[in-house]
Each structure stands twice: as structure tokens, then as C-alpha cells.
Chains A and B, each alone.
Chain A
Amino acid sequence: MTSRNLENLVKTGNLQAEPFDLNEFNSLVRSADARLADARNTELSIESRFDLAYNAAHALSLAALRRLGYRSKNRYTVFQCIPHTLGIGPEIWRVLALCHERRNRAEYEGHIDFDEQLVNECLAAAEALSAAIHELDDAGKP
């Protein structure tokens, strides 16, 4: 079921199939965990913490997708695949999709407004992804 959903996204051109690469996977997870640790630092500005948490979440979501042999350059698609790659409920990818939208508005349209609540929920989402990925690690790589 899961792989069929991902295969359909390949057919529609939203995902590309690409063989798994352990080095890439490990560096994505390592870099995400480093950013996640910094995102928890409340000494930093809210803008920096948002960027760090959001990018950590993206790296972890991409790692999960790469683990199954897929890639996408579209961040929205990468988040959308989370229920299929990590089996995590829809609220996580929806919060991250909203963060993606906010980030685009800030970067490209000048709507700069990060509220603390969104930063905290983005961080919580990234932490949930990290926990799920590290559980996979213990269960062995594909």
C-alpha cells in the first residue's frame, strides 16, 4: 500500500526513483540532529530557531524518503510522503507544510511573522521525525 502510493507519485513525476545511499542518509540525519539541537536553544532569535527546526524537519523527511529509494526536489512533496515513509500521522506533515508555506512567504513575499507557537510545533514535529528515524536505525538499514 505504502510503496504503491510512492510509486504513484513517481508516475506523476512528483518523485524520482534513486538508489539508496547510506552516506547520504547518515549525513542528512547527522546534520538534522545538529540543527535540531541548535533549534532548542532559546537564546537564539525566533527566526533562527524556525529556520533550524524547519530545515532539520526537511532533512529528516528527505532521509526517510531516500531510505526507500526515492527523492524529490519539491519540499512540499517530501513532507507529504511522511505518512508513507515513517508511518507518522497526518498532523505532522500538515504542520510542516504550513511551516513551508510560512517560510516561502517570509523568503519571497516579505511576510515575516513567526509566532512562538508555530516554532514550537515545528520543533516538536522535527523531534517526532528524529525519534522515528532513530528507531529505524536500531531496526537495521534497508
Chain B
Amino acid sequence: MRTTSARRCRRTSTLIIPNLGIIVPNMGMMPQQQGGLASALFSKTQRRVLGLLFGNAERSYYANEIVRLAGVGIGTVQRELNKLAAAGLITVRKVGNQKHYQANHESPIFTELQGIALKTFGIADVIREALATLGGDVHYAFIYGSIATGADTARSDIDVMIVGTGLSYGDAVGVLGEVEPRLGRPVNPTLYSPSELRRKLADDSAFLKRLLAQPKIFLIGTEDDLP
């Protein structure tokens, strides 16, 4: 018994602390904490505004639309928009008596900002938040398809693969449908139980093989969770 745990201890270099009723705080990093990465860099209003404009870089929004979708006050939104426009990060176009705002593809850091928006507040955080309310047990989940590969257009869906047990499409489309207006795109979930996924891979499913080989944006879990 002792040798086994000693060997395990050596192999995984995990510190084994006897349970003596001591409260050991977990002081590790929490990479999945909501808004963790992005909130260190941007304020809530900036995250919401940038998330909308750079998460949907192919379309433009008018100010009231941004206020409604971002759920932030008109004053703060207008201030952010003016700042972003002055810096050339977004463009402003007058349509009738409305001003339309869009991510500026010509800006020197467009690709970088879009990457941050997609991986954090623009899409990934919104979907991760929605998945937290999903019933069942999600083992891992990721975005694949055109958004993850960067080949998306304004009309592209967000393809999400969710692997876990006790999941249902009814539940998944329900919680994801709630956040679709904020995302500005439909979310297209695919559900698998771990056993069905393994069985399909053993059956040589062309769809799954291609999917697993593509770039992904992880929402829950990591690449190491894949079969």
C-alpha cells in the first residue's frame, strides 16, 4: 500500500497532504474563470463593445443596437465608440441619420483584437457561460468549424461540440438560443457521449476525423481531453 502511493507520488510529483482537517487553500491559476483573461485587459464596457464588433467583424451595428445587445448604458457605450473610432480601431459610416460602427479591418492590430475577442469575451466566454447552465455533465466542449479556423463570414454559424453524459439537444438549443442575440449568429451544437464518440471514431467517421484534426477554441477542458 505504502509503495504504491510512494510510486504514484514520484511519478506525478503530486504533494500528498494527510487529511488532518487542515484547510489547504488552492492557490493555483484559474484559467477558466469567467472573464479572467480579458478582464485583466479591458473594462466590462470595452469587453462588451469589442466583443460585439470584433466577434462579428463582417457586419456593422448602430449605436442603439450596441447599447441593447451589450446591455451597457448609452453614455459609456458612446464614449467607448468615440475612443475606438478616434484610434482607428473601428470605422463609422453614416446611413441616413444613423451612425453605423464596424471593426476596422485595415487597422494594424485588427487580427490580434479579433483573435482576443473570439477566444474570450466575444464568443467563447458567452458560450461558456451558457454551457454552465446546461443540465448533465459536460466533460469537454470546444468551438470548431469556420470560426475556429478563421474562415468565417458574417453568416457563419458557431459550431460547438459538447461531449458529456446526460445531455439533451432540447436543453442545449435552449441555453444557447438565449445568447444568440448577443453573439449575432446562430449556434449549432453537436452532442456526444464519450462512449458514442469513441465508437464513431472506431467506425472511422470521416466527419469526426476531419473535425478533430481542425483548429479548435476550447470552452471547457483542453486538447488533452480528446480521445
Contacts and interface: CB of A to CB of B under 8 A. Distances in A.
A121 B196 contact: no
Interface stretch (B84-92, B114-122, B166-174, B212-220): B166-174
Given A98-B169, A101-B157, A113 B205 contact: yes
A102 to B, nearest CB: 8
Nearest to A114: B207
A111 B189 CA distance: 14
A98 B189 contact: yes
A10 interface: no
Contacts of A113: 190, 205, 207-208
Interface of B is mostly: mixed
Given A98-B173, A101-B188, A116 B196 contact: yes
Contacts of A45: none
Contacts of A92: 170
B170 A115 contact: no
A38 to B, nearest CB: 21
Contacts of B173: 91, 94-95, 97-98
Nearest to A117: B191
Nearest to B180: A94
Contacts of A34: none
A91 B174 contact: yes
Given A90-B174, A94-B174, A117 B169 contact: yes
A113 B201 CA distance: 12
29 contacts: A90-B177, A91-B170, A91-B173, A94-B173, A94-B174, A95-B169, A95-B173, A97-B173, A98-B169, A98-B173, A101-B157, A101-B186, A101-B188, A112-B207, A113-B190, A113-B205, A113-B207, A113-B208, A115-B191, A115-B192, A115-B196, A117-B167, A117-B168, A117-B169, A117-B196, A118-B169, A118-B191, A121-B168, A121-B169
